[in-house]
Structure formats: structure tokens, C-alpha cells
Structure 1
Amino acid sequence: MKVTNDDLSLISQVAELHDKAAFNELVRKYQSPIRRFFLHQTLGDEQLSDDLAQDTFIKAYTNIHQFKGTAAFSTWLYRIAYNVLYDHHRRQRPTTDTDCPAVANRCAANSEQGMKMDVYGALARLADKERTCVTLQLVDGYPIERIAEITGMAVGTVKSHIFRGKQKLTMFLKQNGY
């Protein structure tokens, strides 16, 4: 997938002229998908999702001169988002297990959101890379090849993560009455 002319024009304005209005247009265009990506990765934590999305756009702005145009701008932006998420996970170690009381209390506190929390509960059972691949495919509709570009994983690895992730999701949701 190549860069659209609109994106290319905005990117060149930002890279060459440091045009913040042009960058604001790119943010408006891609803010919702990037935020949704983080929302699924953080299991519904809106504040953290917003923080990670903001970090992504700051990194995109400061590094926009490195954009080569060999892939779609959205792929480049998702790659930055994936790296921001990876850095966040690395800083958070050691992580808590999904069966621990802290996660259970968080899910119970939000039980009025019903199915939404069941889906986040199911996503919580997945490894980080499985969750990333599954949500990029099932929620955002990206083909496996594009997910491989975004994550830097081999196509076969992406397929494996999606397969295992779907199996875990299916099993969890069946066990919970879906």
C-alpha cells in the first residue's frame, strides 16, 4: 500500500516547513485508529491509551523526516505505535498475571459494562504479541502482510499468533457463555 497524495503533501509540509497545521490534519485522520489500537492493547484503559497515542504522535512528528514513503503512512505510524507499546510493556515488568486479584478487581469494578469487559477479559488472556496481531486483523481489518510490516514479524509468525490468539479467545468466550 502506497502513500496517498493527501498524506504525502501533508508529510512534506511537516518535514520541510515544520507545519504544525499539516501535522494536525494527519493527527485528525489517524487519531481514532491509533487510539483504538491502544485501547484494545491496554484492555480498555482509556487514559493509558490516550497517553500512548500521544507518545506515538510526538515520535511521528519528531521523526517524520525519516518517513521514506515505501509503505503507507498508516503502516509507518502503526509501527511507531507498536514500538511505543513494546517500550511501555518493557517498562512495566514485572507484569501481573491475568488471574491475579488486581486484574479480577479491575474487571469486577467495571462489570456494568458487560460484554465489553468480557471481550477485554478474553483479550487479557492473550500474550501481548497475540493480542496485537489478533486486534490488528479482527478489529482493524489489516491483512497478515500488513500486520507483519507493522510488527516487524515474519508472516508465518503473525499467522501463528493469530491462530493461537483466536483459539484462546474462542475457548475463553465459550467458557463464559458466548
Structure 2
Amino acid sequence: MDELLCVQQVLSGNTSAFAYFVETYQDMAMTIALRICGNRQDAEDIVQESYLKAFRNLHSFRSDSKFSTWLYRIVYNTAVTHTHARMWTTDYGKEAEDVPALSDDNPELQMEEAEKKEMVSEILDQMTKGDALLLTLYYMEDHSVKEVAKITGLNESNVKVKLFRARKAFKEKLFNYLQYDRKGCCEETEMKNGR
């Protein structure tokens, strides 16, 4: 659907057309809110409040950015305000890897990909909120540096630096995760073999 047309429909009085935006962007809006507040109930409240703000301020949307960028900025601001979160504290030491798409016809690959996604999610949960959000927006949602800057209110240079540091931090956590997993697996095997 043409989003500008949908915006015009809502502004012209067809308020039910706003449902398109709710259905299209609710998953990522929830992901952003959860990354910032860490609590599902609060995240749901934040997303609901964000959609209300977006609806009320739809007249201020300019088509110089994507609707999703504009909406995610509202979600981000609402979540930070709601939680009084400090988004850009540092705890660097990891590197983000792209998560491949699931294959429709290979159950083994699907299981492997699901395990990778779970591992990435676990690692992101251990990171600072700001780093996890940047990696999610850039790598998992494919937003450009410019769009991430608009959503977070950082300038593009800061986004690049923070993404670099967040990737490095992710890489360290991933390495530790894999080392721990390997060590745990080896200990379990040794116990089974009676060593």
C-alpha cells in the first residue's frame, strides 16, 4: 500500500486506514520498546502510547523520511521517557553478524537458523540497551545509518562509531558464548564417558 496515500486517507477522516500502520509496524515497535524497557507489559503500554502520539501528530509527518522511521522515533522517545533509560552507556566488546533468512524447505536448516536467532537474541539481551537497539535497527531491520540517526536522535557519525563499538562488543560476547557452549558440551561428554 502507498503509505503517503494512507496518511492522506487518515488525515481526510478515514481513521480506520491507520490500522494499516499498526499492523505493519507493531512487531518492530514492540522490539524497540522491549529493548529499551526490558519488560513486556511496559513495552505494550509504550507501543500503544506511541501509536496514539503518531495518530494525533500525523499531520506533522513529512514524506522526507519513511513512515517507519518517523514512527520508530516516536516509539524510541516514548520508551526512553517512560523508563528514564540511559541509552548510551558503554559496555563494549562484541561484533554483530547478519542472521540469514530461514529456508522454507529444509527443516534442518530451519532449526539451525532458529538456534542462531535465539543465540543472537540472548547475546543482544546481555548488551547495553543502546547497543542492542542499534544492532537491531541496522542489521535485523535493515535501516540505513541515516534512518537509525533519525530514529535515535544521534548524528550519523555517532551512529557509525556506536555501531562499530557495538559490533565489537557483540563479537566478544559471541566468542564467550561459543566458548562457554563448547566447554559445557565437552564437560557433559566427559561426564557421560565417566571422566
TM-score by length of structure 2 reads 0.67
Matches within 5 A, 1:1-178: 6-17=2-13, 19-43=14-38, 45-90=39-84, 119-177=120-178
Gaps of 5+ in 1: 99-113
Q: CA deviation at 1:137?
A: 0.8
Distance 1:46 1:129 in 2: 18
Q: Deviation digits for residues 32-91 of structure 1, max 9, x if unmatched? A: 222233344445x4333322221211110111111122211111111111111211231x
Distance 1:144 1:123 in 2: 19
Query: Are 1:130 and 1:165, in contact at CA under 8 Å, matched by a contact in 2?
Result: yes
Quick one: structure 1 residues 74 and 152, their matched pair in 2 at CA, closer, same or farther if it must change by over 3 Å? Answer: same
Residue 177 of structure 1 aligns to a residue whose secondary structure is helix
Residue 141 of structure 1 aligns to a residue whose secondary structure is coil
Residue 167 of structure 1 aligns to a residue whose secondary structure is helix
Distance 1:126 1:21 in 2: 39
Quick one: structure 1 residues 29 and 120, their matched pair in 2 at CA, closer, same or farther if it must change by over 3 Å? Answer: closer
Gaps of 5+ in 2: 92-114, 180-195
Residue type at the aligned position of 1:79: R
Q: Please say which structure displays the higher CA radius of gyration.
A: 2
Query: Are 1:40 and 1:120, in contact at CA under 8 Å, matched by a contact in 2?
Result: no
Q: Deviation digits for residues 140-167 of structure 1, max 9, x if unmatched? A: 1112121112212111100111111111
TM-score by length of structure 1 reads 0.72
Query: Are 1:134 and 1:161, in contact at CA under 8 Å, matched by a contact in 2?
Result: no
